[in-house]
A and B are shown apart, each in its own frame.
Chain A
């Protein structure tokens, strides 16, 4: 290994390239603080922001629970929303904790890639859906608080109410997804590329799995066709 000319070239080049670099001990000490980092904290911000939304939801729901205390059906609706909100808050905190965990770089590259891909494909995707639900809960509770008519709330057109709520949910989720896609798509693609490079073995396994999947699809189509043919023959 030591006779390799590439190594000699590399060492010589590095010696020349870094002879003017200056980083003293004080600068290193200064860099140990997170405050010195200029990096973007999109995901961190998202998680903290939605944590704040959950807290706002809990406060509003508590106020609405007091306002609708004589309306049993509303009490159940509000208690269900409160339970969902607390669930989302706990899930968000867990996601935030997992996000910190996946950024511990002392693990091997292979493990890190798997952890990161899992995070962006599973907990963060679920988090985006739950975040949209919490936005709808916030919107609904603001309406309930404003339109509270002595403990009653009247929905004039139930179909329209459900329709608008669903459209709002899809729209909020879509906006979230689009925003996260812009940044995360490239990262996911890069991680997937790296994973493919690291896990040649699993790539081969994936390929063979895909071959078997095709086999199953063909078997399924043949069985369905024979079933349809059998039914048609029986009807005739």
Chain B
């Protein structure tokens, strides 16, 4: 049996640990039928870009950047075909006896996010993933101030659509 390259083994382990990032991005950016292709494309692009990962940023931040760029630019460039999430239903398992209200609200949250423009979608996605403003700015290439201004607007929009009241400490 061939011994696996230690770098490759480390990479596979890291991707496996953070696989949730890839699932979420695939769900936000690709139509149901394209999700598997996008998942493969992201993993392949991560591996291709891995030599440029210098370890000065968190593996997770680097992974967000490559995965989001692949979803936004790579999918379009390769397939010239792109379906927004708003065009298809979200699949969250329905449980009629448990958390029904919450489940509907979660579905609505995903639906409203999917309706946003790609850049706003990316910004709110990274915010919801609890990335700092600096990290969001670094990944998208826009200024931290711009990130904060946009986030206020996006969160307001989502809150009003989901009928969530803004608490004082969030303001």
Interface residues of A (CB under 8 A from B): 1-7, 9-14, 16-18, 20-21, 23-25, 28-29, 31-34, 36-43, 103-113, 116, 183-184, 186-187, 190-191, 193-194, 197-198, 200
Contacts and interface: CB of A to CB of B under 8 A. Distances in A.
Interface residues of B, number: 72
Contacts of A16: 92-93, 103, 106
B142 A18 contact: no
Given A4-B170, A104-B48, 12 more contacts: A2-B130, A13-B110, A14-B20, A18-B24, A41-B78, A104-B49, A105-B70, A106-B49, A110-B140, A110-B141, A112-B69, A197-B120
Contacts of B66: 105-106
B44 A32 contact: yes
Interface in B1-40: 8, 12-13, 15-16, 19-20, 22-24, 27, 37, 39-40
B26 to A, nearest CB: 10
A4 B155 CA distance: 10
23 contacts: A1-B127, A1-B130, A5-B164, A7-B127, A10-B128, A10-B129, A17-B90, A23-B39, A25-B13, A28-B12, A28-B15, A31-B40, A36-B40, A37-B37, A37-B41, A38-B37, A39-B78, A105-B69, A106-B52, A187-B80, A194-B119, A197-B120, A198-B142
Given A7-B130, A16-B106, A37 B44 contact: yes
A33 B110 CA distance: 32
A10 B73 contact: no
Contact of A186 (B78, B80, B118, B129): B80
Contacts of B130: 1-2, 7
Nearest to B75: A39
The interface residues of chain B, by DSSP majority, are classed as helix
A194 B71 CA distance: 13
Given A6-B164, A18-B23, A108 B47 contact: no
B114 to A, nearest CB: 12
Contacts of B141: 108-111, 198
